[in-house]
Structure 1
Amino acid sequence: MNALPAPLHRDHVLRIDCAGDALVGVLSDPTADRVDGTRTADIGVLLIVGGPQYRAGSHRQFTLLGRALAAAGVPCLRIDYRGMGDAHGDRRAFDEVDDDIAAAIDGWQRERPALRRVVLWGLCDAASAALLYAHRRRDARVAGLCLANPWVRTDTSLARAQVKHYYLERLRQPAFWRKLLSGRVGLAAARELLGKLAQSRAPTAGDASIGRGDRRHYTEQMADGLRAFGGPVLLILSGDDYVAKEFLDRCRDGGPAWRGLLARPGLRREDLPDADHTFSSAAWRAHVERLTAAFVRGMAAAS
C-alpha cells in the first residue's frame, strides 16, 4: 500500500487577548518537510475576515486560502475579531477593528518569535479595514497589503454604479425598447430608473461619515492609507462585482484624495474579468491563491 503524501501545512488554534476579550485564530504553518524546501523566513499573511463572516469564510474560502498559502511556504493566520465567530466581546463594524488587528499581530509574534513582517489580506470591507489600519496605526510590522474588491460603498456610489453598469446597458438593448413600447416594462421599472438617476447625482459629500477619531469619511481615510503606505500592494478586482466597480469609480471620480492612486509606485493590479465578489469557483479561488502566494514570496525574496 502506498503511503499517503506528507501534509504541506499544519493548523494550530490560537487564543489571543484583545482588551480583555478573547479572539480565536487558526494559524496554518508550512510543515518542515516541504518537498521543495521553500519557506518564507520572517513574513506571514494575516487574513482579516470581513463581516458578517467568521474565519472560515463563505464556501470555506478563507480556510482554503490559508492552507494553500501554508502549502506554498507562507504561514497564514485567520482570526475572528470581537463579536464574530468564536471570539468574545461586542460585535464591531469594519472601521472599529484596529485593536483586533494589532492584538492578532502581537499574539502571533508571541507564538512565533521569528515573525517580523505581516501582510494584511482582506476582501470587501476587510480590505477597507486593512487600509484604515494602515492609515491610523502606521504599524511598521505591516510590510504589504493584499486588497480584494475593497468596499467604498455609499448610497450615492451604489446608485451611480447601478446606473452606469446596469441601467445604461439596458437602455442600449433593443429588447428593452421593444418591451417598453409593448407595455411590458411597467411604470414601476421606469420610476426605479428615474429614482436611481436622481440618487446618482447626489453629492458624495452628503454621505455620512462612519470613521472613528479621524472624522473624515471613511473612504478618504482609506485613500490616505493607500497613498501613504510604503510597502507593496496587491489589488485584486473581480469583473462581475458591483463592489469592485464602485472602487474603480471612486478611484476615477473620488476627488483629490483618490486621484492617481491606481498608478502609485508598488501597486500591482490583477483583474479577474469573469469572477464574482467572493471568487466562488475553484478556478477563481485557485487564481487568487497563486497571486497571493507569489506576491508574498516575492517580498520575501526581495528582502
Structure 2
Amino acid sequence: MKRLAFSFECQGARCGATLDSAPGTTGLLLVSGGNEIRAGAFNSQARLAAEIARAGFPVVRFDRRGIGDSEGENREFRRSRKDIATALHAFRALALQVDRVIGFGNCDAASALMLAGGAECDGLVLSNPWTIEDGEDDTPPPAAVRSRYVEKLKNPRELLRLASGQVDLKKLARGLRQASKKQSAPSSLAGEMREGIAGFAGPIRILLADADRTAQVFAERWDAEDPRIRRCSGADHAYSSTEASAWLRTQILEALRG
C-alpha cells in the first residue's frame, strides 16, 4: 500500500486529495464532514483509509473547495455535489482498475451524499446523517431523553444521587420537559435527503451510533423500520472506542465486498 497526494480541478479550483492505493476493483470515496480537512479529526480519516487499503481496497479522500488544501469558495455540505462527483471522476482516472466505488460520509458528509443523489457512486455508507436545520436546537430528541431517564432510574447510584441532592434540579427539569414532548419538530432537510436517495439504485447502509445526538435526531425523523439501518450500541459520533471503531470498519468492508 502506498499513499499518494494529488489534486484535481473542480470548476476552475484546484482541490487537494489523497489516494491510499490497493489492488481491489472496488474503492472507497471518503467524504469529509463539516469543515474538516480530509485527514479528519485527530487524523481519524487518514487512519481509516489506511486500514481499508490494507484490506485490499483503494481509498480516496479529498478537501472540498474552500477547505484545507483546496482553492475556491466553501459552499458547505448542501452545495457539494460537484465536489464529490469530480473527486469520484478523479479517483476512477487515477486507479484504472476500479470499476465500483462506495461513498462513505459521517454527519453532514452523509447528508451531502444523500442530497446529491449518491453523487454517481455505486453504493453508499451513510453514518449519523445530519438532519438538524440551521439555528435549530440540537438537544436530544424526546424519545432518546425518555430512554436515558429510564436507564437512570434502573441504576441505584443515580437514585442515590437524586436523594442526596447531587442532581442539578434545573437541568433535570429541562430534561423532563424535553422528555414530555411527543417528538422532535419535522425537518425539511430530512425530507430533501429522503428525496435525494429515493431513486438511487445502488445498495445503501445507514449507520447510527446509538449514543450520538445527531444519530438520535435522525432516527426520530426517519422511518424506524428502514431495513438499511444498522445500529452500534453505545457508540459516540466518531466511533471513538475500540469496539465501535472495529464495528464501523466491519460495516464499510462488508459494503465494499458486497
Query: Which of the five TM-score ranges fits, normalised by the shorter chain?
Result: 0.7 to 0.9
Structure 2 SS opposite 1:204: coil
Paired residues of 1:16 and 1:24 also in contact (CA < 8 A): yes
Aligned residue for 2:123?
144
Q: Give yes or no for contact 2:140–2:213 (8 Å, CA) kept in 1.
A: no
Q: Counterpart of 1:189?
A: 171
Quick one: distance in 1 between partners of 2:161 and 2:33?
A: 40
Give me the TM-score of the superposition, normalised by structure 1.
0.72
2:81 to 89, 98, 106: 98
Which of these residues, 18, 21, 36, is aligned with residue 26 of structure 1? 18
Query: In the TM superposition, what whole-angstrom CA distance separates every residue of 1:177-207 from its partner, at most 9, and x where no partner exists?
Result: 7766766656633553365358x568724x6
Provide the C-alpha distance between the structure 2 equivalents of 1:176 and 1:11, rounded to a whole number of angstroms: 49
Q: In structure 1, the residue corresponding to 2:116 is in which secondary structure?
A: helix
Specify the alignment match of 2:24 in structure 1: 40
Contact 1:157 1:204 in 2 (8 A): no
Q: Can you list the C-alpha shifts for 1:118-150, whole angstroms capped at 9, x where unaligned? A: 211011111111111116x5x3xx110011222
Hey, what's the Cα distance between the residues in 1 that align with 2:85 and 2:92? 11
- Among all aligned residue pairs of Structure 1 and Structure 2, give the percentage whose two residues are the same amino acid: 29
Q: How many residues align?
A: 255
Alpha-carbon spacing, 1:279–1:159, altered in 2? closer, same or farther (3 Å)? closer
CA distance in 2, matches of 1:149, 1:218: 14
Q: Distance in 1 between matches of 2:71 and 2:235?
A: 34
CA RMSD of aligned residues (A): 2.9
> What residue ranges of structure 2 are gaps of 5+ in the alignment?
none
Deviations for 1:86-115, whole angstroms, at most 9, x for unmatched residues?
212222321111111011012222323443
2:145 is aligned to: 163
Q: Which has the larger radius of gyration?
A: 1
Q: TM-score, normalised by structure 2?
A: 0.83
Whole-angstrom CA distance in 2 between matches of 1:74 and 1:220: 33
Contact 1:156 1:203 in 2 (8 A): no
Q: Note the C-alpha offset of 1:173.
A: 6.4
User: 2:31–2:61: 8 Å Cα contact kept in structure 1?
Assistant: yes
Deviation at 1:67, TM superposition (A): 1.2
CA distance in 2, matches of 1:114, 1:247: 36
Aligned counterparts of 2:252 and 2:55: Cα–Cα separation in 1? 10
3-state SS, counterpart of residue 280 of structure 1: coil
Question: Which residue is 1:288 aligned to?
Answer: 248
Structure 1 gaps of 5+ residues are: 1-8, 31-38, 208-216, 252-257, 299-303
User: Are 1:123 and 2:106 matched, yes or no?
Assistant: yes
**SS at the partner of 1:286?**
helix
Structure 1 partner of 2:193: 222
Is 1:14 aligned to 2:6, yes or no? yes
Q: 1:115 and 1:64 mapped to 2: Cα distance?
A: 21
Contact 1:143 1:231 in 2 (8 A): yes
Give secondary structure in 2 for the equivalent of 1:60.
Answer: helix
Moved over 4 A (4+): 167-187, 200-203
1:204 corresponds in structure 2 to 185
SS in 2 for 1:152: coil
Question: Would the alpha carbon gap of residues 106 and 174 (structure 1) be closer, same or farther in structure 2, given more than 3 Å must change?
Answer: same
Please give the per-residue CA displacement for 1:44-103, whole angstroms capped at 9, x wherever unaligned: 111001013111112322111111111111111011111222212222321111111011
The code of the aligned residue for 1:286 comes to: A
